[in-house]
């Protein structure tokens, strides 16, 4: 039940089963992050943090905890699918929600591709005998298999 008296006031009828458990969310998060993400950005984080990579990640975790709590509050206020689109659209205004929805969609599409490319370039620098395109195909293949298996 939402803080605002139910889903019907938003013109929404519950149709999907809400059965996500912690392990489901953990698996989704790990798959979305792409297992090669740390390798792709480690050098940048190392250089930018002056060698204090662990501290940089701890600070990042603190910021993400605040983000997670914010999402928890928004899902209580607007318990519908749509994530950023829904929260920005209902919390600020529909045009802002529309823009936020498209931006997050671009993030979902472009960030994994960018990580594949950066990791491929990093691996090519480590093993120059393997071309960047082959590393790229390998990373995409492995992640495709992992996602297909579930």
Is 11 within the bounds of a domain? no
Which string of DSSP letters, residue by residue, matches 89-145?
HHHT-HHHHHHHHHHHHHHHHHHHHHHHHHHHHHHHHHSTTS-HHHHHHHHHHHHHH
Question: Would you tell me how many other CB atoms lie within 10 Å of the CB of residue 108?
Answer: 10
pLDDT of residue 1: 44
Is 73 within the bounds of a domain? yes
Domain span holding position 123:
20-149
pLDDT of residue 77: 82
CA distances from 126 to 45, 119, 122, 123, 129 (A): 18, 10, 6, 5, 9
Which residue, among 108, 130, 109, has the nearest Cα to 119 in the 3D structure? Answer: 130
* pLDDT tens digits, one per residue of 3-22: 445 667 767 777 766 677 78
The residue with greater pLDDT, 55 or 144, is 55
Is 4 within the bounds of a domain? no
Which of 26-30, 90-94, 130-134: highest mean pLDDT? 130-134
* pLDDT tens digits, one per residue of 63-92: 989 988 988 888 888 877 778 888 888 889
Contact assessment for residue 122 and residue 40, using Cβ atoms and an 8 Å cutoff: yes
Is 103 within the bounds of a domain? yes
Contact assessment for residue 85 and residue 93, using Cβ atoms and an 8 Å cutoff: no
Contact assessment for residue 108 and residue 31, using Cβ atoms and an 8 Å cutoff: no
Is 121 within the bounds of a domain? yes
Number of structural domains (the chain) is 1
């Amino acid at each position: 039940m939402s803080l605002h008296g139910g889903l019907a006031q938003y013109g929404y009828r519950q149709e999907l089963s809400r059965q996500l458990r912690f392990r489901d969310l953990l698996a989704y998060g790990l798959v979305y992050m792409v297992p090669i993400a740390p390798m792709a950005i480690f050098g940048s984080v190392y250089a930018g943090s002056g060698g204090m990579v662990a501290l940089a990640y701890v600070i990042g975790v603190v910021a993400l905890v605040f983000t997670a709590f914010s999402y928890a509050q928004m899902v209580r206020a607007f318990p519908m699918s749509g994530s950023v689109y829904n929260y920005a659209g209902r919390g600020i205004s529909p045009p802002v929600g529309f823009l936020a929805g498209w931006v997050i969609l671009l993030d979902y599409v472009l960030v994994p591709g960018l990580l594949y490319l950066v990791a491929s370039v990093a691996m090519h620098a480590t093993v120059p005998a393997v071309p960047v395109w082959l590393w790229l195909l390998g990373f995409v293949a492995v992640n495709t298999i992992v996602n297909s298996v579930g």
